[in-house]
Amino acid sequence: MSMVKQLDIRELLAQGAVRAREEDCEVLVSQVIPVKPMDPLAFFAYGAEPYAGERSFWADPNRDRILAGLGTAYRVEAEAEDRFAGVEARWRDLLRKSIREPHTHRNGTGPLLMGGFSFDPLKPKSGRWEEYADASMVLPRFLLTVAGEDCWLTVNAVIRPAEDPVSLADRLEREKQDLLSGVPATFTPMESPSFETVEVDPEAWKRSVAETAREIREGVMEKVVLARQLRVEASGRLAPASILKRLQEQQTDCFLFAVERGASCFLGASPERLVRRNGKRFLSTCLAGSIRRGSSPEEDERLGQELLSDGKNRVEHEVVVHMIREAFRTGCDAVEVPEEPVLYKAGYIQHLYTPVTGRARPGTTLLSMVKRLHPTPALGGYPQEKSVEKIREKERMDRGWYAGPVGWVDWRGDGEFAVAIRSALVKGDQAFLFAGCGIVGDSDPDSEYEEARIKFRPILSAMGGRDR
Ligand SMILES: C=C(O[C@H]1C=CC=C(C(=O)O)[C@@H]1O)C(=O)O
Ligand SMILES: [Mg+2]
């Protein structure tokens, strides 16, 4: 890693080009500059045309850190089963030959990959998800990082041995200036088109819930999460930035994410963290077991208490806590888990919530923890392999990236992945929505169906749908 001080992008690229030629390799060049306060959604929306199909968005639930990526300086994709290790190896390899300026900088700035992973690489891919590889992470050309009042722009390039650093620098400067002067101060969402929703055979889904609950009572496995889908047919184009804007306003305690590939954008507001790494500290949160929100504070409180003491939901939750605790113990020391869950209240739904923390053992990386954890029994089931096989067999659809890990990892190895639920795959005037429910022995098909209906509400309402 080269240490360079106060150089501009031209000089950095010139250095990178020399090194690329000398060592006959690709060299990552990355520069972070502080910029005036910018609205990350305005930045994302501005990129709709110049960076069509190459946009990423991420916000954590506290909005402590918001990332918006435009363009592609480098893409890491993998289809195989060792996709987590594969992405990690290629990322490390690229970082080994890098020139960064400044050398140390704030978390969430500098070179980082944004993207995610499909739920199950062994499920045959349907056409709908063809633009989403089983692992697909991008080093954005331009990354806007917003942390409170502070804003930075990271410019990334990967220079190849034969590449001319002068014309690359000219292009990057031009694009950078265009972003800095062109992105409006705030983003105003477009009016939503009207739409119809089409449900795919609800009775068949309920039958598979009943059948699965019976198999669980017979001891075939402990828990399986079964998902169903809803198709949205709109009267006009669905605009990802406008949907994100409404999610940002309406789903205040959730992660926000968007991953655009080609003509599709996969986005959502997920309450569920898979894992976060900050230095040596790892955090995961178990979120499973659900009940609706009340229409008055009293009713809401009563429903919350009902959820906390409900046997079926406690089983659903405990299976997740057990698995995440064990996964943590294989990669971390000082694993801590509270004895009892608490309530997590999102806009339309409340869940049982238990945080799990640990300290990394040497060699435990963020992506190695993603691999250990995915899918947790909040999305897959327990035991893990058996339940994923059941999902493959019983769900008559391809989940694609629904319920997969989405997030980011930076050059230090820090980062965060959420589980891509409460999400939709948006394609022009169509969208595909997914919602799943943790099935245990006591599950009742009608109540699970109702629970999934509530889980569709945030994303439907952000699309401008009537409150269902
Ligand atoms: C699988 C989903 O939710 C999971 C997360 C929280 C609660 C869940 C439940 O109570 O069933 C699910 O396990 C989804 O929203 O699609
Ligand atoms: Mg449930």
Residues 153 and 260 in one domain: no
Catalytic annotation present for 223: yes
Q: Mean pLDDT throughout 6-12?
A: 83
Whether residue 113 lies inside any domain: the answer is: yes
Question: Are the C-beta atoms of residues 366 and 279 closer than 8 Å to each other?
Answer: no
Whether residue 188 lies inside any domain: the answer is: no
Phi, psi at 145, each rounded to 5°: -115, 125
349 close to ligand 1 (CB < 6 Angstrom): no
Question: Band of the pLDDT at 465, cuts 50, 70, 90?
Answer: confident
Q: CB-based contacts of 167: which residues, under 8 Å, 6+ apart?
A: none
- The whole-number pLDDT of residue 6 equals 56
Total domains in the fold of the chain: 2
Q: Tell me the ipTM for this assembly.
A: 0.99
The domain in which residue 75 lies consists of 2-182
Whether residue 255 lies inside any domain: the answer is: yes
- The whole-number pLDDT of residue 3 equals 44
Whether residue 29 lies inside any domain: the answer is: yes
Residues 174 and 214 in one domain: no
CA 287 / ligand 1 centre spacing (Å):
7
> What does each C-alpha distance from 149 to 1, 34, 106, 109, 146 come to in angstroms?
30, 11, 14, 14, 7
Catalytic choice (54, 88, 222, 223): 223
* Best probe residue, ligand 1, of 209, 272, 423 (max atoms within 8 Å of C-beta): 272
Residues 157 and 77 in one domain: yes
* Assigned token pair, 180: 């800095």
Whether residue 353 lies inside any domain: the answer is: yes
Residues 77 and 217 in one domain: no
Residue type, 175: E
Residue nearest ligand 1's atom 8 by CA: 288
Query: Above 60 in pLDDT, residue 4?
Result: no
CATH number of residue 292's parent domain: 3.60.120.10
Residue nearest ligand 1's atom 5 by CA: 288
The residue that leads in pLDDT, 194 or 468, is 194
CA 145 / ligand 2 centre spacing (Å):
35
Whether residue 456 lies inside any domain: the answer is: yes
Residues 213 and 161 in one domain: no
Tell me the CA end-to-end span of the chain in Å, nearest whole number.
54
* Interstrand relation of 98-101 and 55-59 (parallel, antiparallel or unpaired): unpaired
Q: For the chain, what is the mean pLDDT?
A: 95
Residues 141 and 206 in one domain: no
Q: pLDDT tens digits, residue range 291-345?
A: 999 999 999 999 999 999 999 999 999 999 999 999 999 999 999 999 999 999 9
Whether residue 453 lies inside any domain: the answer is: yes
Query: Above 60 in pLDDT, residue 197?
Result: yes
* Interstrand relation of 264-270 and 223-234 (parallel, antiparallel or unpaired): unpaired
DSSP letter, residue 296: S
Question: Band of the pLDDT at 1, cuts 50, 70, 90?
Answer: very low
Catalytic annotation present for 36: no
Q: pLDDT tens digits, residue range 433-461?
A: 999 999 999 999 999 999 999 999 999 99
Residues 163 and 205 in one domain: no
Q: Which of 182, 203, 221 is the last residue of a domain?
A: 182
288 close to ligand 1 (CB < 6 Angstrom): yes
Tell me if residue 462 falls in helix, strand or coil. Answer: helix
Catalytic choice (54, 101, 131, 272): 272
Whether residue 467 lies inside any domain: the answer is: no
Question: Are the C-beta atoms of residues 231 and 197 closer than 8 Å to each other?
Answer: yes
Question: Are the C-beta atoms of residues 459 and 247 closer than 8 Å to each other?
Answer: yes
Q: What is the largest CA-CA distance in the chain?
A: 70
Residues 68 and 168 in one domain: yes
Residues 171 and 220 in one domain: no
Phi, psi at 133, each rounded to 5°: -70, 165
Residues 176 and 244 in one domain: no
- The whole-number pLDDT of residue 241 equals 98
Residues 298 and 331 in one domain: yes
Query: Above 80 in pLDDT, residue 2?
Result: no
CA 452 / ligand 2 centre spacing (Å):
8
Residues 220 and 138 in one domain: no
Q: pLDDT tens digits, residue range 205-264?
A: 999 999 999 999 999 999 999 999 999 999 999 999 999 999 999 999 999 999 999 999
- The whole-number pLDDT of residue 20 equals 96
Q: Which of 121, 155, 182 is the last residue of a domain?
A: 182
